[in-house]
Structure 1
Amino acid sequence: MTARPGIDVPDHRGRTGLDRAGRDLDRNPRVRVRDVELTSQGWHVLRRTTFDYRRRDGRWVTQQRETYDRGDGAVVLPYDAGRRRVLLVRQFRYPAYVNGHPDGMLVEAAAGLLDGDAPLAAIRREAAEELGVVLGPLTHVLDAYMSPGSVTERLHFYAAPYTPADRTGEGGGLAEDGEDIEVLELPFAEALAMVRDGRIADAKTIMLLHWAALEGPFAPAASRTGRTGAAARPPARSGGDVGS
C-alpha cells in the first residue's frame, strides 16, 4: 500500500494522522461520525466527513460536510482612550479581491493564528510583528466561530490599551511570511465611519469596533467614569490580563 503523506507518513509540515480528526467525537448523541477523508493538506487541511445525524423528528440521515482546518486564531484592538484612537492594519487579501472587493486592500484589526501558543501569547506576538506595539493589559472580549458552515477556526477577541510610547517598532509583519502590512492609527470616530460607509468590511474588526463603542473604552459609561477599559470588566488578574 502506498504511504499517504499526512496520514501514514509525515507531510511537508511533519504531520500524520490528519484523517483522524473528529472520528472519536461523542459529545452530541445526535451525531455519529462514520468516516473522515483527507482531501487536501497544503499549509492548512481540508477534510470531507461523513456522519449520521438524527433530525428533530427522530429520523436519522447521512450527511457529508467539508471542513477547512487552519487552526484557531486571536485578534486584538489596541486603543488609546485619552487620544480616542485605535491601531489597525491594511493588507492585501486575495479572497476578498476575487469576490468583489475593489482592490483587496482590507482594513483590519491585527490578528494571527495561534500556531501552538496560548491566545494571550499569540496576540502579543502578532501585535509586535504587525503593529510594532507593546500592549498593555489585555481584556478578553469574546470567542467566536467566524464561518461555522465550513471553517473550524475559533477566534479569540481581545482589546488592550496603548500609548505612543508603546509603539516601539515599525510593524509591518514578517517578510519571510510574505506579509506587507501597513499600520494605521485612526481616530475612533473615523474608524466607525469607515464601518458605516464600507471602507472597513472585515467582520472581526467590525465586531471589535462596535464592542468598543457599546461596552468598551469608548462607551458612554466609560467616558462618564473616566475608565479606559471595558465598562463592566472586573479588575485585571495577576499577569496584567483580564480573561484568557
Structure 2
Amino acid sequence: MEKNDPIRIVGEEILSDDYAPLKKVSYEQRRRDGSWQRQQREVYANAGGAAVLLHDPTRRTVLLTRQFRIGARLAGIDAFVIEVPAGMLDDASPDQRVRAELCEETGYRAKEVRKVLAFMPNPSSLTEIVHCYLGEYERGDKQGEGGGKEEEGEDIEVLEIDVDEAFRMVEDGRIVDAKTVILLQRLQQELS
C-alpha cells in the first residue's frame, strides 16, 4: 500500500465460497477533507469472464443464446435471457476462454475474434472484468451441436437472429443482458 493511498483495507471475511467467494471487506477511506471514514461492503470476488458476438456480414445475422438465469427470475423479468456466448475465465486467458465458450455454447468455431473492450459490470460489489470480443462467422463454421455442458447444468438454446432485429430487441427490452447490449451496440456503431 502506498503512503498516499486514500484506501486502507483493514479486514476481510469470507461469508460464502460456493459459486464465487463472497467477502465482507472493511476499509477506511480518506475523504476529500482529509478525515478517515470506515466502511464495510460485501463483494463477490470473481476472476472475470469473456464474451463474444459473432456476425455473419453476408446474411446479416448474429449468433446469440438463450438460457435460464435465476437473477432475472428473482428480478421479475423473463428468466430465459438472450445473451452472447460467454463464460468465466477459470484460469484461462480471455482469448482462450472466449473460443472455448463459443464452441461449447453454439457449436461454432470462430476463424478470428478481436477484443473490442473490457468493462466492470458492477464495480461496487463485483471484482469481475468482462473481456468483450467481436468476430465473424458463416454457416460452414459450425462444428458441433452447442447447447452448453450438461454436467454444469447448462441447457442453452442457440439463436441466429437478423442483425437489425437484434438491435430492435435491445431497444424494446427483449435483450437486457449488459454484455450483450454493449456488444450489439458496438456492432451497430461499426456497421453504421
Q: Which residue of 1 aligns with 2:98?
A: 123
Structure 1 pair 155–86 and aligned structure 2 pair: CA distance change class (3 A): same
Aligned-pair CA distance for 1:94: 1.0
Structure 1 pair 154–28 and aligned structure 2 pair: CA distance change class (3 A): farther
Q: Which residue of 2 aligns with 1:44?
A: 20
Q: Deviations over 1:5-41 (max 9, x none)?
A: xxxxxxxxxxxxxxxxxxxx55970011111111111
d(CA) in 1 for partners of 2:137, 2:105: 15
- Runs of 5+ consecutive residues of structure 1 not aligned to the other structure: 1-24, 221-244
Please give the secondary structure, in 1, of the residue aligned with 2:105. helix
d(CA) in 2 for partners of 1:28, 1:173: 47
Q: Which residue of 2 aligns with 1:88?
A: 64
The one of 159, 175, 178 aligned to 1:203: 178
d(CA) in 2 for partners of 1:47, 1:94: 21
Q: TM-score, normalised by structure 2?
A: 0.96
d(CA) in 2 for partners of 1:178, 1:198: 26
Structure 1 counterpart of 2:47, one-letter code: G
Structure 2 counterpart of 1:46, one-letter code: L
Kindly report the root-mean-square deviation, in angstroms, between the aligned alpha carbons of the 2 structures. 1.3
Q: Deviations over 1:79-131 (max 9, x none)?
A: 111111100000000111111103x0100011000110000000000001001
Q: TM-score, normalised by structure 1?
A: 0.76
Q: Which residue of 1 aligns with 2:40?
A: 64
Structure 1 pair 117–28 and aligned structure 2 pair: CA distance change class (3 A): farther
Query: How many equivalent residue pairs?
Result: 192
Larger relative contact order (C-alpha < 8 A, sep ≥ 6)? 2
Whether contact under 8 Å (1:138, 1:160) holds in the other structure is: yes
d(CA) in 2 for partners of 1:115, 1:201: 25
Please give the secondary structure, in 1, of the residue aligned with 2:174. coil
Structure with a larger share of its residues in strand: 2
Please give the secondary structure, in 2, of the residue aligned with 1:66. strand
d(CA) in 1 for partners of 2:120, 2:3: 18
Please give the secondary structure, in 2, of the residue aligned with 1:127. helix
Q: Which residue of 2 aligns with 1:78?
A: 54
Please give the secondary structure, in 2, of the residue aligned with 1:74. strand
Q: Which runs of 4+ in 1 moved over 2 A?
A: 25-28
Q: Which residue of 2 aligns with 1:231?
A: none
Q: Deviations over 1:123-165 (max 9, x none)?
A: 0000010010010211111000001111111000001111100
d(CA) in 2 for partners of 1:56, 1:142: 31
